[in-house]
Amino acid sequence: MRMKEKPLNKDDKLRSGGKIYSLILLNDELNTFDHVIKALVEVCGHDALQAEQCALIVHSRGSYEIRKGQEEIIHRMSKALNAKGLNSIVSVAG
């Protein structure tokens, strides 16, 4: 299940009430780097290098904002990551 997200522009921000949402991936001790990387590629549309960098940052920091976007898209991505056994949360970007 690969979700495509179009780049945000000013009109998208206005239609969403001006709020942009963050998808935050949380570290865990259960999933392998390969599983996390594969999930980020499939769900978030990251390329392999970007996914690997995100996985390493999450591992070292404990959490990392892996994507920003419209509320509906970010919530769908979070649910898809969680369904793959990863821990993610959504918050309003600040």
Of 59, 78, 60, which is closest to residue 68 (Cα–Cα)? Answer: 78
Residue 70 counted as domain residue:
yes
> How many structural domains is the chain composed of?
1
| Structural domain of 82 | 28-92
Token look-up 């999933």 returns 31
> Which DSSP symbol is given to 70?
-
Banded model confidence at residue 8, pLDDT cuts 50, 70, 90? very low
Q: What is the mean pLDDT of the chain?
A: 88
pLDDT of residue 1: 46
Residue 37 counted as domain residue:
yes
Residue 65 counted as domain residue:
yes
Amino acid, single-letter form, for residue 82: N
Residue 18 counted as domain residue:
no
pTM, rounded to two decimals: 0.80
